[in-house]
Amino acid sequence: MSLTLTAELEQFVKDEVKKGAYASSSEYVRDLVRERYLREKADAERWKALDAALDRGIADVEAGRVMDIDEAFRRLRAALSEAK
Comparing 80 with 84, which gets the higher pLDDT?
A: 80
Between CA 72 and CA 65 the distance in angstroms is 12
pLDDT of residue 84 exceeding 90, the answer is: no
pLDDT (tens digit per residue) in 15-47: 999 999 999 999 999 999 999 999 999 999 999
CB 80 within 8 A of CB 74: no
Asked whether residue 25 is assigned to any structural domain, the reply reads yes
- How many structural domains are present in the chain? 1
pLDDT (tens digit per residue) in 52-78: 999 999 999 999 999 999 999 999 999
Between CA 33 and CA 46 the distance in angstroms is 20
Grade residue 83 by pLDDT with cuts at 50, 70 and 90.
Answer: confident
Asked whether residue 1 is assigned to any structural domain, the reply reads no
Asked whether residue 48 is assigned to any structural domain, the reply reads yes
CB 39 within 8 A of CB 46: no
76 lies in which domain range? 7-83
